[in-house]
Amino acid sequence: MGRLTAGGTEVLTPAFMPVGTRGVVKAVSPEEVWGLGYRMILANAYHLYLRPGHELVERHGGLHRFMDWPGSILTDSGGFQVFSLARLRKINDEGVVFQSHIDGSSHLFTPELSVQVQEGLGSDIIMCLDDVRGYPVTKEEALEAVIRTGNWAERCLRSKKTVDPALFGIVQGSVFSDLRKLSTESLTSLDLDGYAVGGLSVGEPHDIMVEMLEVTVPLLPEGAPRYVMGVGKPQDILDGVLRGVDLFDCVLPTRNARNGMLFTSRGPVNIRNARHADDPEPVDMCCTCPLCVNYSRAYLRHLFQEKEIYGLRLATIHNLSFYSRMMDRIRDAVRDNKLRSFAGEFSAKMEETDD
């Protein structure tokens, strides 16, 4: 277990961060996110740079104030979004030229600009711009990304104007153990505030993802937070914690909620399924969230059938509540030195299916 203090807020680790890409965790209020126990969220520099613009957010007192979030904010550097969303990317040592996925406008994102954007947003933890590749890639390409990511991290560190935000580096190296090691060394030599294992969840098999964690995490400094970006499924989080990871973020609980997929202690429930139409039971008998305390499956299904906005909110609250309780239990298990047996039981229960 750990305590991470960022922007004056204490976050207990291992921690999961809900994703608030555009300065809002989709379908819920900051109060609800806080009330569910979350103290840190992730926002995306790429999206907020394009709209409404980091300079606008800065003029309005920074993202915390703009979106009324009292906790910590970690921002992604934009590297992954340029890789996954933007069109006509052209990457070179200077930075990455891309066309906005919104209006096609052309932009040059550099390590310096990424830091400037994230500092403008007023993030508590900022990420170094990295060179993200897909899966599979050749070792040659992966090496190029490792070298560039290291150089960019150095430029990020140099261009940081304020002391306050923590700066995390992102380890690359695709599925090559020796490149992961190389990337880790180049970043840890900079003595950054924390380290992410990047370039995972891009299509590689689960086993390989776990293997790369096993290769990388032990090489990271003991006292620095370790973060796996864009992960993940409950099983992936358990696998990460078992290998020493402290921080996770993923759109899964919120996006699944909006698609009617609810996590429960007895496996996933698709609330759109006709079998729930007349079901007076709550989504999860073991859950104490507002959805499960106040409403039946039948009502939630009705809201989804009718495309009622309130259904998206209730489902999101439920899934975020599920993740929050899961992290509570994971931390308890770590403290009690029972993580391995907890992980086994939890996974078995999750594989039951209630749907």
Q: What residues act catalytically?
A: 76, 249
Structure tokens at 86: 């933007």
- Please tell me whether residue 257 binds a copy of itself under the rule CB under 8 A: no
Q: CB-wise, 28 or 238, nearer to a copy of itself?
A: 28
- Please tell me whether residue 120 binds a copy of itself under the rule CB under 8 A: no
Among 151, 235, 270, 305, binds a copy of itself (CB under 8 A): 305
Q: CB-wise, 56 or 208, nearer to a copy of itself?
A: 56
- Please tell me whether residue 22 binds a copy of itself under the rule CB under 8 A: yes
Among 100, 298, 334, 355, binds a copy of itself (CB under 8 A): 298
Q: CB-wise, 2 or 52, nearer to a copy of itself?
A: 52
Distance CA 94, CA 58 (A): 25
Q: CB-wise, 278 or 336, nearer to a copy of itself?
A: 278
- Please tell me whether residue 352 binds a copy of itself under the rule CB under 8 A: no
Distance CA 292, CA 100 (A): 40
Minimum CB–partner distance for residue 156 and a copy of itself (Å): 27
Structure tokens at 30: 């900051």
Q: CB-wise, 59 or 338, nearer to a copy of itself?
A: 59
**β partners of residue 16:** 248
Query: What part of residues 207-246 is at the interface with a copy of itself (CB under 8 A)?
Result: none
Minimum CB–partner distance for residue 298 and a copy of itself (Å): 6
Q: CB-wise, 29 or 151, nearer to a copy of itself?
A: 29
Count of chain residues binding a copy of itself (CB under 8 A)? 33
State phi, psi for 71 to the nearest 5 degrees. Answer: -90, -160
Query: What part of residues 50-89 is at the interface with a copy of itself (CB under 8 A)?
Result: 51-52, 56, 59-60, 66-68
- Please tell me whether residue 185 binds a copy of itself under the rule CB under 8 A: no
Q: At what angle do helices 339-351 and 309-335 cross, to 10 degrees?
A: 150
Query: What part of residues 260-289 is at the interface with a copy of itself (CB under 8 A)?
Result: 277-278, 280
- Please tell me whether residue 304 binds a copy of itself under the rule CB under 8 A: no
Q: Could you list the residues that contact a copy of itself (CB under 8 A)?
A: 22-24, 26-29, 51-52, 56, 59-60, 66-68, 277-278, 280, 294-296, 298-299, 301-303, 305-306, 308-310, 312-313
